[in-house]
Amino acid sequence: MTAPVTVTGPTTRSAVRAVGLGKRYGSRWALRDCTFDLPAGSVTALVGQNGAGKSTLLHLAVGLTEPTAGRVEILGSSARRQPRDVLPRLGFVAQDHALEPRFRVADMLEVGRRLNPRWDAALAREHLARLGIPLGQRVGGLSGGQRAQVALTMALAKRPEILVLDEPAAALDPLARRELLRMLMGAAADTGLTVLLSSHVISDLERVCDHLVILAAGEVRLTGPTDEVVAAHRLLSGPRTEPTAVARMHHVVSENHTDRQTTLLVRSTRHVYDSRWRVDEIGLEEIVLGYLSQTAPGKDVTE
């Protein structure tokens, strides 16, 4: 097995820590040897293709499933072994939102109030009023995006210290998505809320997330603060060639070839002495796509 790349180590109090975490279904590993550390107050994007293991990782983190190997802690405790320490401080929104369709929105809020000692009823009502979601409406009669908003509102009204969201933006229109991401960013800045969210919409994440975990085929391929990830990568463009010479000096993450040109995503900021190569900085979205398109994962560990 290959080692994932950690662009930097943890610097502050840990909010989510996974060590050698793995989950096997039958003979197949959905997630394997997953190790990372996310600081409190960070907003982390968990990205990966369909089936990469994102939901599996989030379900392990919030204690919905038992790991086959390793461990994961939220705010220093296991959600599975010490639920009383973790669950009151944790908000989780699953991909399917898990709302009761026969209940009215107001009934859902009442359930939230009874289950959560720190429930913020005013926040929930204001948030839903701003979105134009009527409290008297049955959940089953709401659109997919509105149901997602109700589920998010309930998670926020718990006043959690950490919010774990599985594809929160998937059902939302572009405006609602932007509003949601702004709100999460604001909450992280104002209250120190830690957010861990999975998403396919990488372009949105660049503006919002300060940490990144890239999963591919059940393994962590890259993890670290987004600014350090961006600073550690370059795009090299040059004549059509096999990148053997460049690869000796620069870690090649992914390569693309046309008839005349070769383009390399490299994890390196070293000088390129061969003047035929042009060196450009590269944005987070292109870096993520480079890792996701890798046929074989990177081999070094950059501390």
Q: Which residues are near ligand ATP by CB under 6 A?
A: 25, 30, 48, 50-56
- Minimum Å gap between C-beta 147 and ligand ATP is 17
Measured CA distances, 174 to 4, 52, 89, 171 (Å): 33, 25, 30, 10
Burial track 48-74 (b if 16+ CB lie within 10 A, e otherwise)? beeebbbbbbbbbbbbebebeebebbb
Closer Cβ to ligand ATP, 55 or 294, answer by number: 55
Distance CA 264, CA 69 (A): 35
Closer Cβ to ligand ATP, 88 or 145, answer by number: 145
- Minimum Å gap between C-beta 250 and ligand ATP is 30
Closest CA to 152 of 192, 193, 189: 193
Closer Cβ to ligand ATP, 196 or 236, answer by number: 196
- Minimum Å gap between C-beta 200 and ligand ATP is 7
The answer for residues whose C-beta is within 8 angstroms of residue 176's C-beta and 6 or more apart is 131, 145, 149
Closer Cβ to ligand ATP, 282 or 292, answer by number: 292
- Minimum Å gap between C-beta 47 and ligand ATP is 9
- Minimum Å gap between C-beta 247 and ligand ATP is 29
Closer Cβ to ligand ATP, 51 or 174, answer by number: 51
| Phi–psi pair at 235, nearest 5 degrees | -110, 125
Q: Residues 190, 161, 175, 293: is their CA dihedral positive or negative?
A: positive
Closer Cβ to ligand ATP, 161 or 219, answer by number: 219
- Minimum Å gap between C-beta 10 and ligand ATP is 24
Contact between 27 and 78 (Cβ < 8 Å): no
Residue nearest ligand ATP (C-beta atom): 30
Distance CA 282, CA 203 (A): 13
